[in-house]
Amino acid sequence: MSTDDRSSATPTGATDDGGGDESLVDVRNLQTTFFTDKETIRAIDGIDFTIDPGETVGIVGESGSGKSVTARSLMGLIESPGRVLRGSSIRYRDLDTVRSFADAFSGRTVSVADLESRYDPVRVFDQTAATPAEFGYADPADVPLVDVVAAGYGDEVGLTSGDECVFVLDGDAGDPSSIRRGFVELTRVSGEAQRKMRGGRISMVFQDPLTSLNPVYTVGNQIKESLSLHQGLTGKEATQEAADLLEAVGIPDARRRVNEYPHQFSGGMRQRAVIAMALACEPDVLICDEPTTALDVTIQAQILDLIAEIQETRDVAVMFITHDMGVIADVSDRVNVMYAGEIVESADVEPLFANPKHPYTEGLLNSIPGGQVGGRLATIDGSVPTPNEEPTYCRFAPRCPKAFEECEAVHPIPVPVDETADDHTAACLLYPEDESTEAAIARHRGRSHGGERE
Ligand code: SF4
């Protein structure tokens, strides 16, 4: 939801989780920054997106746009000198997961109603660096307490200890079976909760299968390790399941090959084996980070077909990351276009390809080989800048063929491309296109994602 949308929304009560309860994953104002001696790199700078159950969400952009850091932030794989900043929230809403986490981690589970009885969220804005705008509201009194606490500000004011990661919105936090609504806050999971989430609920397939496979163990043993950890399978049962998984991902003679080592597999087979490992824990979400980039074109097509088949037969939500617009068109239901740490356009796949709005998306589409009038391959001059300062301007401006004076002075935020297009947003001063340029610029001016200040 855009800042504008939340600002104009009628507040629905402090226990409102907003963002659409149907979303399985709800990423809000995600900011991941790397702090080095020389500079601060705002690799992810306040992005919002959702993943619905069974949906394939594409993330596309050039190298350096922040795609992989987004995936690693969801997986809890950001290491020093990087970290996810306060103000960020990644909600995981699967009810079974919320109940089982509330059961397993009762000391880390909180009732939002209980917090509300003890604290007025308006005070947070007096006592911390938080701003209502970063939660999408103009008035501090409208901001639900759960938003403030999930984003980490409750710790600053002593309302929470920093350890809580399960938030119960409806039901008794002490009786997990009674919970009807809630979420696990992925920016706050750690330790055993992190291990259960990573691999158990969300799995990841990396670009290079060799980095995911250990060369000194058989492929079967590596799948069995995952089966043991997440499903408790051992012995013959695990061997059988590992072979079944290899067969399911299209490895011929799987019962024999389960005993082979990674070097005995071809590149395409290795990627299939990695996908089998990722499926071993029966995830709800499969994150695929450029899973076909290291493969030749025919194998790439096979792996894409395999991922589509898995998505359909196992009802897994997929977050698919690539720099390739052609691949994104093939696999995605919805597309988020990233540039320099921000999502600059978001839409369902058909409208995005039929009617791209952001000049960067237009540039990416024009640079697909074969799509040009006259046969000359278009390029986007220049390269993605390193986002190392708070944006006060459009980061695409130096490369944008449509740039005008205000683009250097106003930071565009995602807004609907026109008033009928709730599901199609662009972070560009030219939008909403049914408003005058002055009115559109006024919408963008002065808005900030906010969050922790380094
Ligand atoms: S805000 Fe300006 S520079 Fe940025 S994409 Fe839009 S027109 Fe181009």
Which amino acid is present at 267? G
- Residue 442 CB-half CA count within 13 A: 5
What is the reported pLDDT for 447? 65
Over the stretch 21-32, which tens digit does the pLDDT of each residue have?
679 999 999 999
What is the reported pLDDT for 372? 56
Q: Kindly report the CA angle at 197 between 194 and 203, in degrees rounded to 5?
A: 120
Q: Which contiguous run of DSSP H or E holds residue 325?
A: helix 325-331
Same-domain status, 134 and 119: yes
Same-domain status, 352 and 397: yes
**Best of 339, 364, 393, 394 for a ligand 1 pocket test (most atoms within 8 Å of beta carbon):** 394
Over the stretch 122-131, which tens digit does the pLDDT of each residue have?
888 989 989 9
Task: Write down which residue in 137, 156, 191 finishes a domain.
Answer: 191
Same-domain status, 180 and 208: no
Same-domain status, 238 and 267: yes
Same-domain status, 357 and 410: yes
Same-domain status, 170 and 254: no
Which protein residue has the closest C-alpha to ligand 1 atom 5?
428
Euclidean distance between CA atoms 199 and 279, whole angstroms: 9
Task: Write down which residue in 336, 369, 395 finishes a domain.
Answer: 336
Tell me, yes or no, whether 88 lies in a domain. Answer: no
412 close to ligand 1 (CB < 6 Angstrom)? yes
290 CA distance to ligand 1 middle (Å) = 28
What is the reported pLDDT for 11? 34
What is the reported pLDDT for 10? 32
Same-domain status, 232 and 166: no
CATH of the domain at 281: 3.40.50.300
431 close to ligand 1 (CB < 6 Angstrom)? no
396 close to ligand 1 (CB < 6 Angstrom)? yes
402 close to ligand 1 (CB < 6 Angstrom)? yes
Tell me, yes or no, whether 311 lies in a domain. Answer: yes
Which of 71, 88, 61 minimizes the C-alpha distance to 340? 61
27 CA distance to ligand 1 middle (Å) = 24
What is the DSSP code (8-state) at residue 430?
T
Q: What is the pTM of this model?
A: 0.89
What is the count of structural domains for the chain? 3
**Best of 380, 396, 444 for a ligand 1 pocket test (most atoms within 8 Å of beta carbon):** 396
Same-domain status, 240 and 280: yes
Ligand 1 atom, smallest distance to 395 CA: 4
Euclidean distance between CA atoms 148 and 155, whole angstroms: 10
Low-confidence stretches of the chain (pLDDT beneath 50): 1-16, 19, 451, 453-454
What is the reported pLDDT for 422? 77
344 CA distance to ligand 1 middle (Å) = 10
406 CA distance to ligand 1 middle (Å) = 9
Same-domain status, 237 and 130: no
Residue 155: give the domain boundaries. Answer: 95-191
Which protein residue has the closest C-alpha to ligand 1 atom 7?
403
Tell me, yes or no, whether 197 lies in a domain. Answer: no
Ligand 1 atom, smallest distance to 402 CA: 7
Burial of 443: CB neighbours in 10 Å, binned 0-12, 13-18, 19+:
buried
Q: Kindly report the CA angle at 258 between 255 and 264, in degrees rounded to 5?
A: 120
Same-domain status, 234 and 164: no
Task: Write down which residue in 191, 211, 235 finishes a domain.
Answer: 191
Same-domain status, 423 and 398: yes
Tell me, yes or no, whether 30 lies in a domain. Answer: no
Over the stretch 157-189, which tens digit does the pLDDT of each residue have?
999 999 999 999 999 999 999 999 999 999 999
User: Is the distance from CB of 128 to CB of 192 less than 8 angstroms?
Assistant: no
**Best of 429, 433, 447 for a ligand 1 pocket test (most atoms within 8 Å of beta carbon):** 429
397 close to ligand 1 (CB < 6 Angstrom)? yes
Tell me, yes or no, whether 39 lies in a domain. Answer: no
Same-domain status, 444 and 350: yes
Euclidean distance between CA atoms 20 and 40, whole angstroms: 33
Tell me, yes or no, whether 297 lies in a domain. Answer: yes
Tell me, yes or no, whether 303 lies in a domain. Answer: yes
Ligand 1 atom, smallest distance to 394 CA: 4
437 CA distance to ligand 1 middle (Å) = 12
Q: Is the peptide bond before 283 cis (omega within 30 degrees of 0)?
A: no
407 close to ligand 1 (CB < 6 Angstrom)? yes
Interior/surface letters 107-132, b for 16+ CB within 10 angstroms, e for the rest: ebbbbbbebbeebebbebbeebebbb
Euclidean distance between CA atoms 355 and 32, whole angstroms: 31
Tell me, yes or no, whether 71 lies in a domain. Answer: no
Which protein residue has the closest C-alpha to ligand 1 atom 6?
428
209 CA distance to ligand 1 middle (Å) = 38
359 close to ligand 1 (CB < 6 Angstrom)? yes
